Structures are given as C-alpha cells and as structure tokens.
Amino acid sequence: MLPEAGPLARALLALELIQARPGITADQLAANLGVSDRAVRRCVGTLREAGVPIESRSGPYGGYRAGRGLRLPPLTFTAAEALSLVMAALDGHHDAADPAGLVGRALGKITRALPEQVAVRAEAVRQATAAAPDRMAARPDPDAVTALVQACSQTRRTRLAYRSEAGRQRDIDVDPWAVVVRHARWYLLCWSHTSDARRAYRIDRIQSVELLDTAFDPPPADLDPVAALEEHLAAGWKYTTELIVQAPIEAVAAHCPRVLGTLEPLDPDSCRLTGTTGNPYWYVQQLTAIPVPYRIVGGPELRHVAHELGQRLIAATA
C-alpha cells in the first residue's frame, strides 16, 4: 500500500489486516500500509467513526482486533487469490493452512465470512488436517496460466520463454490450444511453430508469456485436449514398446492408460499395444495393472526390465 493512497483506502486495508491477523500491532500495521504509526491511529479512528468495532489492547500480547458485532463487507479477492483458489480446486493444493500463501489468504477470507459455529469447525479442519504433499505436483505461476488461457480464448499466437528439463532456455512460438491439468501437473497443448509439430509444454517451466498480434485458426472442434495430451506423452521417447494382449480391445482399454501407447485390435480376442517410454522400469510397473494375459514382443529394454523385476518378485516370495 502506498502512503499517497486515500484515507478511506488505507482504512479498509487496515480493517482487512486486522481481520486477517487479530492482535496485529500498530508497528506491524504501519509496515504493511507503508505509513507512520500516527497514520495507523487515524485509520483506526476512521473505522471507529464508521461504526466498525475495533478493539485495542496494550502490553506484549496486545494489538488491534475486530470486535464482536462487526458486519463483514462482501468478500473481495485479488486476481492472484481468486485464480489460486480455482487452481487449488483443479490440482489439490496442500498449502491451505499457510495464512501467508495465496490460497491460505483467500480461504481465510471465506472462513471469516462464515457463521461463527461453521467457521470454528472449518478452521479446525483446516489447521488440524495434515495433507501429504504430492511430490509430482508442479504448480505454475498463476499469471502465466492467466495469460495462456487468454491466448487460447483469443486464438492469439504466443511466444514462450521455456526452460527444458535439462535447463536449456529457448523461445518458442506456439498456437495455444488448451491448458490441461493432469495428475497435479499443468500443461499447454499447442501447435509449435518452432518444432512444426503438436507439442505439450509444462507450464511450470515457462518463464514468460508474450501474446503476439498474429491470430491463428482454432483447433478442430472435436479435439479432446486430455486425450491429445496423453497421446503426446506416450510418443517420442527413447525406448519402443510392443505387447500382444490376450483379450478384446474393449476389455483392455479400461485398464490401459493412453500414456502407455496405442491399442489396436488383432482379432476379436486379442489386441496390440505399441508405444514408447523413457523409463522402462516405470512402464513395466504400469503393465502390472493390466488384469489379463499379455506378452512383451517388442523393445529389448522392456523385456530385460520385466525379466529382472519378475525375478526379484519371485525371490521375494521364497
């Protein structure tokens, strides 16, 4: 908050800080508002004159608190807080108990607007529940997500400053098609003019987003962004894979994620699964979820890993 902001704006921000941090001191308010202690006292006086009950206590455990009977104003969120709440609902944030984070701040506002009996229960759950962190989660910058969603909706070509997994920086010009959340990771599905191919980029690796003046034709209306992303994630890896599955393709598809490759029928009672992988150990682990007989016929690396893991499992039962 800038000191030259109007007195009403400072008073309203002071009220929000007092509600968010009961017991906040005058020094802390002054630091957050960027004003003097005297200006803080004027803010509190303005609130009291407007009928807002603000209590103050002296001593080491003193500070300002909102008194009983305060009628809360309508909830207002910053753009970052609102987008973070949406992202939290999509990918499952585990930092809601942190009052300093965007999600924690937004949830705090909601809690304060609830009836007291409901708020007490909600806050107890929020503080006492320990959510196991998702080590695979990679949450991007909300501003980058906003810019990419805007580019998708406006069909505007976009320049990305992108950092690869190996740490190499480069600029990429793309036609952004869709933002997809999969297993707590955010991807941009797009057509890359730099690669002249369909690509999916991790949004947490995008350093900056620049919307260009060039428009592009939207993707086909029947495009399934999730399916297209999973097909992309299954292609282009170092090791090839091929399996013959002894079951109808309809029975196999329900147990075979698209990231493992493409299924095609051989006859009414069998099908073929072909794909690629960068991690044969991971791939073989996924195959154990297929509950019908199959045979690995392609990919020497895959066959080696399957044999090695099979021997280890047999040895574990001896």
Where do we find the tokens 């029975």? Answer: 251
In whole angstroms, give the CA distance from residue 211 to residue 158: 5
In whole angstroms, give the CA distance from residue 318 to residue 312: 10
Residue 97 has pLDDT above 60, yes or no: no
Higher-confidence position of 170 and 120: 170
CB-CB contact of 171 with 195 (8 Å): no
pLDDT on residue 295: 95
Check residue 186 and report its DSSP letter.
E
pLDDT above 90: percentage of residues in the chain: 38
Ranking 7-11, 254-258, 269-273 by mean pLDDT, the lowest is: 7-11
Average pLDDT value over all residues in the chain: 83
Tokens of 269: 């009672």
Check residue 36 and report its DSSP letter.
-
Closest CA to 162 of 134, 192, 185: 192
**DSSP structure string for 115-150:** -HHHHHHHHHHHHH--PPP-TT-BPPPHHHHHHHHH
In whole angstroms, give the CA distance from residue 298 to residue 163: 33
Categorize the per-residue pLDDT at 293 as very low, low, confident or very high, splitting at 50, 70 and 90. very high
Residue 89 has pLDDT above 60, yes or no: no
User: Which tens digit of pLDDT belongs to each residue from 101-131?
Assistant: 767 777 777 767 666 665 666 666 566 555 5
- Mean pLDDT over 288-312 rounds to 93
pLDDT above 70: percentage of residues in the chain: 77
- Mean pLDDT over 273-290 rounds to 92
User: Which tens digit of pLDDT belongs to each residue from 134-166?
Assistant: 666 677 888 898 899 899 999 999 999 999 888
Categorize the per-residue pLDDT at 2 as very low, low, confident or very high, splitting at 50, 70 and 90. very low
Categorize the per-residue pLDDT at 32 as very low, low, confident or very high, splitting at 50, 70 and 90. confident
Categorize the per-residue pLDDT at 23 as very low, low, confident or very high, splitting at 50, 70 and 90. confident
**231 CB neighbour count, 10 Å cutoff:** 17
